[in-house]
Amino acid sequence: MGRQFLVVIGWICLVTFTTLAQENGSTGPSLELPAGNGSWVIRVFTSGGFSGTGNGNVAISSKGEIVCTAQKPPCPRTFEVQPIQRLVEKLAGLDLASLLSKPIPAGPGICNDCINRRVIIAWRDPAGVEHLHSASWDDLTAATVPREMIEIYNAVMALRK
């Protein structure tokens, strides 16, 4: 019985450390906010789903850099910056405080196989002031997130197809 107990404890430790490594973002994409006014960086993190690993993580910048954690589908070497630039400018022009102070409540329930999404956007406005906005949601809570943030998520993830 002592040997089985040690095997169980070892298995629990392995699962715990693997889960914590995935949750703390140690395998997340990394790009820094580029220098210059009007620059931006977007980081997309996913988790959950049927396998629990999400759809992969992606980071892109206004310099045309892209980093992906998942190898399938393959990460493109380049992408067209201008369509994403327009979405970032649209989000930057919103009064985010008023949007987030009146969220639409999500319906009750638990979504065991939902993909959890987290988007972090950092940008420097034309005056050089840095801004940061993030949002997290799953299929049940998407109504609480500004539509523009979901559009950015969809555009970034579409780069990998």
Phi, then psi, of 51 in degrees rounded to 5? -85, -15
From CA 8, how far away is CA 74, in angstroms rounded?
A: 37
Which residues have CB under 8 Å from 126's CB, separation 6+? 37, 38
Rg (CA), the chain: 18
CA distances from 152 to 41, 68, 80, 126 (A): 12, 16, 14, 20
Identify which of 109, 116, 150, 110 has the alpha carbon closest to the alpha carbon of residue 48. 116
pLDDT (tens digit, 9 = 90+) per residue, 2-60? 555 444 454 444 444 444 334 444 456 778 999 999 999 999 999 988 887 888 899 99
pLDDT (tens digit, 9 = 90+) per residue, 144-158? 899 999 999 999 999
pLDDT of residue 28: 62
Element counts in the chain: helices (H) and strands (E): 4, 5
100 or 18: which carries more pLDDT confidence?
A: 100
Torsion over CA: 74, 76, 80, 86 (sign): positive
Is the whole-model pTM more than 0.95? no
pLDDT of residue 53: 82
CA within 13 Å, CB half, 4: 1
One-letter amino acid for residue 31 of the chain:
L
53 or 86: which carries more pLDDT confidence?
A: 86
